[in-house]
Chain A
Amino acid sequence: MLELIDLSKRFGDVVALDGAGFVVESGRILGFLGPNGAGKTTAMRVVFGLVRPETGTVSWNGGPVGPAERLRFGYMPEERGLYPKMKVHDQLVHFSRLSGLSKTEANESVDHWLDVLGLAGRGDGKLDDLSHGNQQRAQLAAALAPNPELLILDEPFAGLDPIGVESLAETLRGLASEGVTIVFSSHQLDLVEDVCQDVAIINEGRVVLSGSLDDIKNRSKKRRLTIDVDGEPWIPDMPGVEVVDGPGPSHCIVDDDAPVADLLAAANTAGTVNRFVFEPPRLTDLFRAAVGS
């Protein structure tokens, strides 16, 4: 279990973290969300000791996190970077050995992950010779090859093609089922909704919403209402309705105690109802509400 407790950090006049904290249970995948500049990268760097917080602590399985613990963590930084002129296989082995793997273990693990990530046969080439997407995969391999217990990935899906996205999602689910704890940040909320069990939303250095995705949705006082009358979106005429644009028919966000039966009756009098959906909010709705835009 990873716990970030009350982290604060400022860089000059900029407040990066302002009492941020969240918890990830072992073997779960947490989506770490927030607008640009909200403090995601700083929080991740704190876990790896790259940034020293002014207040707050990070704990792993109840104990403090030091250099020894960090060797069991895998990190894919937002600023991608490996050695451009070094052979891919060699540098992945180097990083794995720095994380404490023996030579044999490192070689085996690197071969395994190159294979899983679709880079089999590319190991002997220099990083520079790989395509952008493959460099991204190599970066991921650097985080995965040491067989970490905790994976922290800063925007791991950015720059991947749809097939790459799907296979990475599959890989992460597989790792979590083996007990690996995963935290990743992303701006692709549909993807997060699809892959994560838990989320933490950070805004202006504070975690404004966190917990299991299902709980958060159920706890929410809002519901998403989608009504389609005669093939056209139909927006009920009542106070507190918020119209959101989305793919397909227009949706609206209403309170969870909205008079569903009355609305359906009203829609029925307006024409033929093709579609009437009253459902928990989506992650994008929660996100928008949480960061207040």
Chain B
Amino acid sequence: MNPWRQVALLAKREFLERVRSKPFIITMSLLVVAILAIGPVISMISGGADEVTKVGLAGEELPGIEQELYDQAILFDIEIEVERFPTRAEAETALTDGRVAVVLVDGTEIVFHTSGSSRLTALVHNAVDTTLKTQALTELGLSENEIALVVEPVPVEVTTLEEQNAQDEVKRGAAFVGAIFLYISIIMFGQFVAMGTVEEKQNRVVEVILSRVRPWQVLVGKVVGIGLIGLLQLVVFSGAAYISAQFADLPDIDVAAIGLPVIASLLFWFVLGYTFYAFLYAAVGSTVSRQEDLQGALMIPIALILPGYLLAIFAAEDPDALLPTVASWLPPWAPFVMPVRIAAGVAQPWEIVVAVVGTVLGAIALVWIGSRVYSGALLRTGGKISLREAWKAAAE
């Protein structure tokens, strides 16, 4: 029988037994619903910008103030609607109830409910100012054109030295969120591998399996089966996030242009990073015999992964700094740091090649080391054995 067919059978069991389990289905469904909800929620929160701001007028009204408010609103890029109140008291009630955002009383006083918005203050103030000036200039006998010359704002061009591109900002943010996802996924599925290994040792089924297949097959089958669940979960989550982002109603952001590369990068680096760490997790998992002893053994992979995560945060802040740059070349951390640097647009093509090739080679080395430790430790039950003992035992 082809050994890879057995590996496929082992992987299939790992995959199906976990995917079919109720806790997995429930957790996945809840998280997908939560992710799908984020977009519409963002849209609702930020949606205020699109809503019409109501401006109230009470008491004595300046002639032409309404038109001037609308004109100013265009300059301020705020959509407003003017509403009149017969008395100040009624206007204040409307303010308290939140029916209007600001009220201009007698053309001399701007009233807010709580703290005032400086933009609205400026808008109303400008309107009052312009109205009064127009009035005064008209009384002085200036023509409409002459008045316009005085009160119309002079067009001034606005230039920024550094383009603050919302698209780039969001792209880096998305890459950083991707790094967090990657970090959580690698730890989570790595731990599944370690726990699965201990479980098989603890309930002794390992001897039944090993009478049919060799240790490396069990190891590869487990890593592949659990890895496929990880991929499935990432695809589902990032798909949900992508759909969710469509509903977030983000102006000036091209969701597809940012989302698809980030998702592709996440999946790519997950495969590399997970492969690298899964064999390490399996090796340390095989050295203990009971789940209770596992936490201590898991410190080894965590100690490698955590710096990667911290370096990814560092890289998001300052992608060109020396530390994240060097870390992004090295196998243990490249999967976390390199995607962030790529998204920031600072990674050179040769750096990406070094990172990918290095991680692949590192993963191959860990497959070999992990398999050997795993073979040596698998049938040793009863206590914890050190990685070195397991390594030696494999040679016996």
Which residues of A does B touch, CB under 8 Å? 45, 48-52, 67-68, 70-71, 73, 75, 77, 79-86, 94-95, 97-100, 139, 142
Contacts and interface: CB of A to CB of B under 8 A. Distances in A.
Nearest to A86: B17
> 6 tightest A-B contacts by CB?
A81-B204, A75-B211, A77-B207, A79-B204, A81-B205, A48-B211
Nearest to A83: B205
Contact of A81 (B3, B6, B206): B206
Tell me which of A71, A73, A77, A139 has the highest count of chain B C-beta atoms within 10 A of its own C-beta: A77
Contacts of B381: 79
B13 interface: yes
B210 interface: yes
B379 A50 contact: yes
Given A68-B1, A100-B1, A95 B214 contact: no
Contacts, number: 63
Nearest to B10: A98
B12 to A, nearest CB: 9
Main secondary structure of the interface of A (DSSP, over half): loop
A223 to B, nearest CB: 42
Given A86-B17, A98-B6, 16 more contacts: A45-B379, A49-B214, A50-B207, A51-B379, A71-B212, A75-B211, A77-B208, A77-B211, A80-B204, A81-B207, A82-B203, A83-B205, A94-B9, A94-B13, A98-B9, A139-B208
A33 B396 CA distance: 26
Contacts of B207: 45, 50, 75, 77, 79, 81
Contacts of B205: 81-83
Interface string B373-389: 00000010100000000
B213 interface: yes
Contacts of B203: 81-84
Interface of B: 1, 3, 6, 9-10, 13, 17, 203-214, 379, 381, 396
Nearest to B201: A81
Contacts of B210: 48-50
A67 B3 contact: yes
B375 to A, nearest CB: 10
B208 A52 contact: no
Interface of B is mostly: helix
A227 B13 CA distance: 63
A77 B205 CA distance: 9
Scoring A45, A48, A50, A84 by chain B CB atoms within 10 A of each residue's CB, the highest score goes to: A50
A45 B208 CA distance: 11
Given A68-B1, A100-B1, A50 B204 contact: no
Nearest to B21: A85
A75 B6 CA distance: 18
Given A94-B9, A94-B13, A100-B1, A75 B214 contact: no
A99 B212 contact: yes
A98 B213 contact: yes
A183 B319 CA distance: 66
Contact of A82 (B1, B13, B208, B212): B208
A255 to B, nearest CB: 45
Contacts of B212: 70-71, 95, 98-99
A55 to B, nearest CB: 13
B208 A81 contact: yes
A139 B210 CA distance: 15
A210 to B, nearest CB: 24
Nearest to B203: A81
30 contacts: A45-B379, A48-B211, A49-B210, A50-B210, A52-B396, A67-B3, A67-B213, A68-B1, A70-B211, A75-B208, A77-B204, A77-B207, A77-B208, A77-B211, A80-B204, A81-B204, A81-B207, A82-B205, A83-B17, A83-B205, A84-B203, A85-B17, A94-B9, A94-B13, A95-B208, A95-B212, A97-B9, A98-B10, A98-B213, A139-B208
